[in-house]
Homo-oligomer: A and B are copies of this chain.
Amino acid sequence: MTSHPLRLPPGRVDLTEIDPGSTALFDGGKKDAKAALFAMGEELSDLQERLFAQGRSGATRRLLLVLQGMDTSGKGGVLKHTVGLVDPQGVRITSFKAPTEEERHHDFLWRIRRALPEAGYLGVFDRSHYEDVLIGRVRELADPEEIERRYTAINDFERELVDDGTTVVKCMLHISPDQQRERLLRRLDKPSKHWKYNPGDIDERGQWPRYREAYEVALERTNTEHAPWFVIPSDHKWYRNLMVGRLLLDVLRGLQLEWPEADFDVEVERKRLLDESPIA
């Protein structure tokens, strides 16, 4: 995946140089993109089922999709429209909120480890351990030495996951402040969206430049070969959903997932079924 067009190149990160409104990798508009995403469903489902089948048959491979981004960047939209294309049976979604009292009494990775997908599953993190170096840094929820320690802790943790058979795909959903404002205003316009709105979101928005800086540092420090970052231009929802779908598809294809071989004799079993006495 190191040569993927959405892969963030290693080195210093300047998010102002990445256009959140880009649609460069798709030659078409909203309608075409929706159709293209839908058309992807069958292959995505097939590959996810192979992964799941392998998990049931003793293989340890699993996939972890990490979604990060500012409010309204569309983590929920990706869950609904992209992750929603595959069988929910094989998906484990965890939405990380502000840590609970119990969680705060443990290392920041404690709750993350508890939410890791089992073998064969597609795990999705809606927010993640990255919050602990994002809001953690901006809101000074931990002292600078602790924040500093976390970048290394994250890299070590992700290395461990990869060594244990997990493919880690980290997506930063990249939106512009203008697009966020539009989306927040739209939430205010629709009573059916009020529940998604929180006045505190505007306070966070007021810290936009500091969040951008925190993202830039986090992306730079944790953009490893084993767990690379992908920056998804997300001002266009249809482009964002399609790009994450394509990325998932590329990753799953790369795993070269075969159906597990039968660990029983197919002919013997067939005969057992055909020869049985009638069931009343």
A residues adjacent to B (C-beta < 8 A): 53-54, 56-57, 76, 79-80, 83-84, 87-89, 91, 93, 95, 126, 177, 181, 184-185, 188, 191-192, 194-199, 202, 205-206, 208-209, 259-262, 264, 266, 269-270, 272-274, 276, 279-280
Q: How far is the CA of A88 from the CA of B92 in the complex (A)?
A: 9
Contact: B76 with A80, CB < 8 Å?
Answer: no
- Rounded to whole Å, the gap between the CB of A130 and the closest CB of chain B is 19
Q: Which residues of B contact A260 (CB under 8 A)?
A: 194-195
Contact: B261 with A181, CB < 8 Å?
Answer: no
- Rounded to whole Å, the gap between the CB of A57 and the closest CB of chain B is 5
Q: Which residues of B contact A276 (CB under 8 A)?
A: 181, 202, 205-206
Q: Which residues of B contact A273 (CB under 8 A)?
A: 181, 184-185, 188, 202
Contact: B279 with A205, CB < 8 Å?
Answer: yes
Q: Which residues of B contact A184 (CB under 8 A)?
A: 273
Q: A53-B195, A79-B88 are in contact. Are A185 and B262 (CB under 8 A)?
A: no
Q: Could you say which of B188, B202, B259 contacts A194, with CB atoms under 8 Å apart?
A: B259
In chain B, what residue has the closest Cβ to A193?
A: B259
Q: How far is the CA of A260 from the CA of B205 in the complex (A)?
A: 24
In chain B, what residue has the closest Cβ to A203?
A: B272
Contact: A195 with B279, CB < 8 Å?
Answer: no
Q: How far is the CA of A95 from the CA of B121 in the complex (A)?
A: 13
Q: Which residues of B contact A272 (CB under 8 A)?
A: 199, 202
Q: Which residues of B contact A208 (CB under 8 A)?
A: 279
Q: A195-B259, A197-B264 are in contact. Are A93 and B89 (CB under 8 A)?
A: yes
Please list 15 pairs of residues, one from A and one from B, whose beta carbons are closer than 8 Å in the complex, sorted by A's number. Answer: A53-B192, A53-B196, A56-B195, A57-B195, A79-B88, A79-B89, A80-B88, A88-B93, A181-B276, A184-B273, A185-B270, A185-B274, A194-B259, A194-B260, A202-B273
